[in-house]
Amino acid sequence: MRKGFSAFNVTALVLGFTFLYVPILLLVIYSFNASRLVTVWGGFSTEWYWKLLENDQLLDAAWVTLRVAFISASVATVLGTLAAIALTRYGRFTGRTLFSGMIYAPLVMPDVITGLSLLLLFVAVNFDRGFWTITLAHITFTMCFVCVVVQSRLVTFDRSLEEAALDLGCPPLRTFFVITLPIILPAVVSGWMLAFTLSLDDLVIASFTTGPGATTLPMRIYSQVRLGVTPEINAICTILIAIVTVVVVSASIVTKRQEIERQKAERLAAAGVME
Amino acid sequence: MSSGVAEKTQTTIGGIRRTFAPWTDPSAVHLIRYRNVTKRFGSFTAVDDLSLDIYEREFFALLGPSGCGKTTLMRMLAGFEEPTSGQITLAGEDLVGTPPYRRPVNMMFQSYALFPHMSVWDNIAFGLKQDGMGKPDIAVRVEEMLRLVKLEAFARRKPHQLSGGQRQRVALARSLAKRPKVLLLDEPLGALDKKLREETQFELMDIQMKLGMTFLIVTHDQEEAMTVADRIAVMDHGKLIQVAPPAVIYEQPASRYVAGFVGDVNLMAGRVESNQNGLVTVRTGSGGDSAGMRLAVAQEVQTGAGDEVWVAVRPEKVRVDREPPADTNVNCVSGEVWDIGYLGDLSVYHIELADGTRVKAVRPNLTRMVERPITWEDKVWVSWTPDAGVVLTR
């Protein structure tokens, strides 16, 4: 069978990509619009990017967002990795099914419900809402994504590597840091990047759990858009797109390279003759 | 060691190891002792009340089908499994409860388990670093190990840049580097092709003799066990069936199971007619005295007239002639060639006897001939000498 381009395939591809990327492309193009009017092209300009630098509100929001994303991604990576290890290693403990179901639940839970339940919790324990409540909420919902990514790597992890380290006199904790972690590191890193981007563009959960003085960038953009889309918003969104693209692309490169490396090793093993 | 332990020496003739048999010496001290060891996984009993002594400088093989408990037995020595009951001692010290990283035992894994993010050099040095050995000493030891396995040129490579045979040798070097009291080998050659496997078997024996270490190998490949081991333990269902040197396992198997598991065998069931002066006469078949063949086996065995026994004859010990052999009439029956397998060096003849039993005979092809003198459906005579067969009571 020919795997070429049939008219149907090309049409489907073009339609799909148009649907996905035309809005984003429009936003990026209009961020370089010289005109104040969002829908009228007035020539190329980087004016709105310079204007951004003077907009303290937006810059503050960006700074809060980055800090929340960094802290929550890091904590979520540690917790998610530990959960993944528990789930893959201790095969038959009581309540395993319940536990693994519970770790996956936030993946499919509507953000509104996650946000609302966290808000209720913070109110109930009388936790002052602000930066730390957003961070905690983000740790909670990104942790399960990290867990899933790391778990998928651990399933194919050869346990005899750890046994070999133990056998050669390396105690269990050190074995984890010198053998297990370096080998699963690519998965941990891409888990971190996933958590980072998820936290970066979350609006719903952040809106529920925020308090005075802690406004994230998506929240700021959303509130400004209600007053009308300004070219400045287009500019900051373009920057956000750039950041997310870089993070996601590098995460996939890390995974891809690891995959290629593994396939190469397998090929060599298959052709494994002496010398 | 005490003077009671026989030195492992090499005779000049063909390099065949002789005079090493501490298991026959009552004053010899065991290095490894399993005492009434049982291991259960849930309701499954992997090792069943097993006792075994292994001596210093011995190359010991655990042989059996998968699931017979041989790997579990080895993993209990390494410390990856704890026995449900019983005692395991190494050089007199009780090992039960000691974690794997504190046991003076190293293991070579079936999958090699080389650390993929470390070079060959770092893989070999790993165990030495854990012991806190000084850097210069580590370098000396690693170089020595690389020389031993002939991988000096590959020290800086990563495992995935090596061939299967090279990886196998890195794994061996890594497990030898700490000079363990016992080296455990878990199906070490399973991933290699046949030719390389045979070469490596001899390399392993060579290294074991050079270092004077105790090796414990787990394998399901009977030829491998026969080649490398001083003694073989044949296991089945968590129990030891027979523990003996390869030649004894092959020539005097303890049971039908051992006879069938190690090598090929013709088994004929029958009843003992007489047993005197080291000559056992067996009447095959379950019918009356007139039916069946009368077989003679020259063997000292505890059995009396009327006992149900089996006569086992290895195919290579069966003679095939076109005419009734003039020199003998014991263990001599006529039959018809049913099938022939030509293997180049050998030919395998399946011969159907008058009573329907099929006997397998293996004959070396000593001359270059395309047309063999014996062919399909020929009437032939099969015979074997009384000292070729063996009587099995179970």
Residues of B in contact with A164 (CB under 8 A): 107, 109, 113, 115, 174
B307 close to B272: Cβ distance less than 8 angstroms: yes
Q: So what's the pLDDT on residue B12?
A: 38
Beta carbons of A275 and B163 less than 8 Å apart: yes
- CATH number for the region B264-392 comes to 2.40.50.140
pLDDT per position as a tens digit, A127-180: 888 889 999 999 988 998 999 999 888 888 888 999 999 999 999 999 999 999
Mutate which of B81, B82, B117, B141 to test chain A, going by most A C-beta atoms within 10 A? Answer: B117
Q: So what's the pLDDT on residue A72?
A: 95
- Give yes or no for residue B16 having a pLDDT over 60: no
Closest CB from B107, B111, B131 relative to A167: B107
Residues of B in contact with A183 (CB under 8 A): 115-117
pLDDT per position as a tens digit, B73-132: 999 999 999 999 999 999 888 988 899 999 999 999 999 999 999 999 999 999 999 988
Q: Which of these ranges, B17-21, B63-67, B85-89, B257-261, has the smallest mean pLDDT? A: B17-21
* CA-based nearest distance B44→chain A, Å: 17
* Interface membership of B41 toward A (CB under 8 Å): no
Beta carbons of A265 and B162 less than 8 Å apart: no
* Interface membership of B167 toward A (CB under 8 Å): yes
B5 close to B22: Cβ distance less than 8 angstroms: yes
Beta carbons of A274 and B78 less than 8 Å apart: no
Q: So what's the pLDDT on residue B18?
A: 56
Tokens, residue A259: 């995959």
Residues of B in contact with A92 (CB under 8 A): none
Residue ranges of the domains in chain B? 9-104+180-260, 264-392
Closest CB from B101, B167, B174 relative to A170: B101
Q: What confidence tier does B353 reach under pLDDT thresholds 50, 70, 90? A: confident
Q: So what's the pLDDT on residue A59?
A: 84
Q: What confidence tier does B8 reach under pLDDT thresholds 50, 70, 90? A: very low
Beta carbons of B174 and A273 less than 8 Å apart: no
* Interface membership of B159 toward A (CB under 8 Å): yes
Q: How many residues in chain A?
A: 275
Residue ranges of the domains in chain A? 8-45, 55-262
Q: So what's the pLDDT on residue A176?
A: 93
Mean of pLDDT over chain B = 86
Beta carbons of A160 and B126 less than 8 Å apart: no
Q: Which comes out higher in pLDDT, residue B314 or A272?
A: B314
Closest CB from A170, A183, A265 relative to B160: A265
Q: Which of the residue ranges A239-253, B4-18, B249-263 has the most confident prediction, judged by mean pLDDT?
A: B249-263
Q: How many residues in chain B?
A: 394
Element (H, E) at B359: strand B358-364
Q: Which of these ranges, A153-162, A193-202, B173-182, B326-335, has the smallest mean pLDDT? A: B326-335
Tokens, residue B279: 């000559």
Tokens, residue B115: 């650390």
Minimal-distance CA residue of chain B relative to A182: B117
Q: So what's the pLDDT on residue A268?
A: 63
Half-sphere exposure of B192 (CA within 13 A, CB side): 24
Mutate which of B98, B131, B160, B186 to test chain A, going by most A C-beta atoms within 10 A? Answer: B160
- Give yes or no for residue B13 having a pLDDT over 50: no
Contacts of A264 (CB under 8 A, 6+ apart): B160
Closest CA to B390 of B232, B229, B278, B261: B278
Closest CB from A166, A168, A273 relative to B178: A168
A146 close to A199: Cβ distance less than 8 angstroms: no
* Interface membership of B42 toward A (CB under 8 Å): no
Q: So what's the pLDDT on residue A91?
A: 67
Closest CB from B130, B165, B191 relative to A168: B130
Q: So what's the pLDDT on residue A269?
A: 57
* CA-based nearest distance A182→chain B, Å: 7
Tokens, residue B356: 């329907």
Tell me the residues of A at the B interface, defined by beta carbons under 8 Å apart. 158, 160-161, 163-172, 179, 182-183, 261, 264-265, 268-269, 271-275
Closest CA to B178 of B218, B209, B137, B217: B137
Is domain B9-104+180-260 in CATH 3.90.1150.10, yes or no? no
* Residue % of chain B over a pLDDT of 90: 40
Residues of A in contact with B196 (CB under 8 A): 273-274
Residues of B in contact with A261 (CB under 8 A): 160
Mutate which of B41, B72, B76, B115 to test chain A, going by most A C-beta atoms within 10 A? Answer: B115
CA-CA distance, A173 to A181, in Å (whole number)?
11
Beta carbons of A169 and B130 less than 8 Å apart: yes
**B244-264 mean pLDDT:** 90
Q: So what's the pLDDT on residue B7?
A: 43
* Interface membership of B119 toward A (CB under 8 Å): no
Q: So what's the pLDDT on residue B324?
A: 82
Residues of chain A with confidence (pLDDT) below 70: 1-4, 91-92, 262, 265-275
CB contacts under 8 A, B 97-116 vs A, are 99-102, 105-107, 109-111, 113, 115-116
Q: What confidence tier does B217 reach under pLDDT thresholds 50, 70, 90? A: very high
Q: Which of the residue ranges A20-34, B35-49, B328-342, B351-365 has the most confident prediction, judged by mean pLDDT?
A: B35-49
CA-CA distance, A87 to A154, in Å (whole number)?
10
Count CB neighbours of A106 within 10 A: 17
Closest CB from B109, B160, B164 relative to A164: B109
- Report the CATH architecture of A55-262: Orthogonal Bundle (1.10)
Could you tell me the strand order of the sheet in which B308-313 lies?
B294-298, B279-284, B266-276, B308-313, B390-392
In order, the DSSP letters of B117-152 are TS-HHHHHHHHHHHTT--HHHHHHHHHHHHHHTT-G
Residues of B in contact with A169 (CB under 8 A): 101-102, 127, 130-131, 178
